Chains A and B, each alone.
Chain A
């Protein structure tokens, strides 16, 4: 801009001359502006907190895998930068009044191999998730689709046996991406096949242990996107190395900024922090372990823990206390009154323990992991807090893999979990609270199975009327607080660190922060 101004200062003489110079000035300014803000091209170096174990589109293998897959693939719908559903491969869709039929009209989009995205590809992709031998993370949810019809190449009709209101949200997950039917036929079970999607970037190269590169896909269906020529996803398992790589300019953006480094990134004139508070920390109980089988004991723990101790010990003060159920404001089921149902009240906690028959406390084993500082330190803080009401906690701190195995096997008395809901619909609660057939899962309190809660969650899924749904989830919250199968501790800040030269990347608020990788299609780098 300043240079452009400089070119017109000597303008003197005739009106004509002034006009010409004025036009030149306008041209120069617009060029300068377009150069500053819409610099298409360039390479983005994206430091990820780990290397994906798999790029299988149907498996949720963690945030780094999702971030990469959201560059390569698109679904019928996805969550956009504003956290709302956005039509992607579907130009539009229609839900029948009884919510049993979803009709999608596909837009003219292409896969990276040049073939058009057709109804047959959608059918093959969704049927792969539904298949009885499928390893898909959301097999149960997508499995609710009864039949998939393809009346023509651009129309897909999904029919359900009973209504399932949150279906569209599950279809928006990165794990519901659409891939070519022909590709699936050949490569569905080959972990080394070159992924093909219809996303803004095509897979270029994966140097195992180092980085994965994607390149701009010129045939992307959104005009003028993506802006970048290529993106290098560089794997930094060590958080300090990742932060140093950002500070020194080796990479332009990093995920999972460690809480201890957030302030330094904010203070750095070359860097900026994109923060949101979506994920939460909680305690999950094995409800077969005797003291924890009693709701009063779990409630006592909810009262006993000073949330600020955890926020300060494990998150450098970067979080918000959570004294109710982890429902973000604006999500169905949120109510201001219930948001702080519990409070920090040692006496109340002691009374509840006494009422449950443990006036002198008891011993329990808390599972967490030494691999991640915030998990480890949350456990340490909980141990100290519970000592105040006589609960002697021993810590079980294997590495992450060991913790996952113990969690999935129900081998814990209680555990520290840090997670978020999968979708922006209230049905995210089912994954955590529903009993059902598989009573020991990653995200539920082991063996917790309450018929009232199950019935309310079932009802919430099939109810179309929003006001009625609101009521159902209100009842659910009351029951959930009464039984407290989880004790929620805090909303934690979840941040990306960026160099100031990066524009257009958004940390999607709420639970969807882990799907922010989709906004790489809007990202520019100067």
Chain B
């Protein structure tokens, strides 16, 4: 037991160290790319429609510390980041951390809502298809799943808005209402983006559920249970589904990272004020500290999710754990 525990700790330690190096690489890469890109935050701050004088530009640049050599700006930023100080937004001097902490939960909420939508749609569809393998129902459901995986999120999103918001007028086309202000409105605005983001995942889950169910259904123990005279209903729900669940849970975990990528489009399309929206507007404004901070948060989240999934997976499956230690 002790050996297993210390093995797990070593694994976690090694993973955390790798994560740290990955974050540093991401941060350095983003820093470099931002400075290579043409663009100047000062010109935008002094008004995209104005002809600022060179003196005003120089003064503003000095005020924001952008007159320092890039390399020294980099080290100052890195040093501060190590102390968990991610700097301040160039436009209004707000701490970057404050922006990130206000927008991150919204992105997470959207991602988790998408997963719930995906599971609620995907699992029953997969089961339904598996139980009538080769039937018309199976073909139809499998086709829907294939379409679901292939339809890009921005097309699905547009169709959803056209149908549910503009045609039927049931749901708002976009936006965000704080849950503390109006619970119903909050979830009404969450519905379409969550569905748009979750639908592709629902299709993957449905396919995984179907194949996993089929595999388990073909096992000997199922045949034995049937021979014992157990009801088909009990066999499916108590035995087959439980065994089929592990790969389904795994795929949900693995897709979580991809889902974070999908939020970039979905947030923009539905004006959902999450981390991606923040990042996109920060890039447009060349708000360097804000780009760095939100990128780092997204990267950290991605790495963390993968880390957790991997650890969780190795805990679930003793073979992986043993191979590692």
| B-binding residues in A (CB < 8 A) | 51, 53-54, 59-62, 133-135, 137, 139, 191-192, 207-210, 234-238, 240-241, 244-245, 247-250, 371, 398-402, 404-406, 408, 411, 419, 431, 438, 441-444
Contact = CB atoms under 8 A, between A and B. Distances in A.
A244 B154 CA distance: 14
Contacts of B93: 191-192
B169 interface: yes
B175 A250 contact: yes
Contacts of B169: 248-249
Contact of B174 (A53, A137, A139, A241): A241
B38 A398 contact: yes
Contacts of B51: 137, 431, 438, 441-444
B231 interface: no
A237 B280 contact: yes
A55 to B, nearest CB: 10
22 contacts: A53-B91, A54-B47, A60-B47, A209-B273, A209-B278, A210-B176, A234-B271, A236-B174, A240-B158, A241-B270, A245-B174, A245-B175, A247-B166, A371-B284, A399-B283, A400-B48, A401-B41, A401-B284, A404-B39, A404-B40, A438-B53, A444-B51
B103 interface: yes
B44 A401 contact: yes
A135 B268 contact: no
A411 B39 CA distance: 12
Contacts of B284: 237, 371, 399-401
B269 A241 contact: yes
A404 B174 contact: no
Contacts of B176: 210
A99 to B, nearest CB: 25
Contacts of B38: 398, 401-402, 405-406, 411
Given A61-B48, A135-B59, A248-B169, A210 B269 contact: no
A210 B273 contact: yes
B74 to A, nearest CB: 20
The residue among B269, B284, B285 with the most chain A CB atoms within 10 A of its own CB is B284
B39 A53 contact: no
Contacts of A210: 176, 271, 273
The 4 closest A-B pairs by CB, nearest first: A137-B50, A402-B38, A248-B165, A401-B39
B48 A62 contact: yes
A248 B158 CA distance: 13
Given A60-B47, A62-B48, A135-B60, A208 B53 contact: no
B291 to A, nearest CB: 12
Interface string B45-77: 111111111111001100000000000000000
A234 B277 contact: no
Nearest to A236: B271
Nearest to A243: B173
A226 B197 CA distance: 42
Contacts of A135: 46, 52, 56, 59-60
B221 interface: no
Contacts of A61: 44-45, 47-49
A245 B165 CA distance: 9
B281 interface: yes
A212 B105 CA distance: 21
A411 B176 CA distance: 40
Contacts of B286: 401
Interface centre among A53, A59, A210, A404 (most CB of B within 10 A): A53
Contacts of A139: 53, 56
B20 interface: no
A51 B37 CA distance: 22
Interface in B1-51: 37-41, 43-51
A238 B268 contact: yes
Contacts of A431: 51
B92 interface: yes
A401 B172 contact: no
B163 to A, nearest CB: 11
B94 interface: yes
Contacts of A209: 103, 273, 277-278, 281
A141 to B, nearest CB: 11
Given A59-B50, A62-B48, A404 B43 contact: yes
Contacts of B43: 401, 404-405, 408
B52 A237 contact: no
B130 interface: no
A398 B39 CA distance: 9
Contacts of B49: 60-62, 137, 419, 442
Contacts of A444: 51
Most buried by A among B38, B55, B94, B273: B38
A247 B169 CA distance: 9
Interface in B85-123: 91-94, 99, 103
Contact of A53 (B54, B175, B285): B285
B161 interface: yes
A382 B280 CA distance: 29
Contact of B45 (A54, A240, A249, A443): A54
B53 to A, nearest CB: 7
Nearest to A190: B93
Contacts of A59: 45-47, 50
* A60, A61, A244, A406 — most chain B CB neighbours (10 Å): A244
A62 B48 CA distance: 6
Interface string B278-300: 10110111100000000000000
Contacts of B60: 135
A358 B93 CA distance: 52
Nearest to A403: B38
Given A208-B99, A441-B51, A53 B44 contact: yes
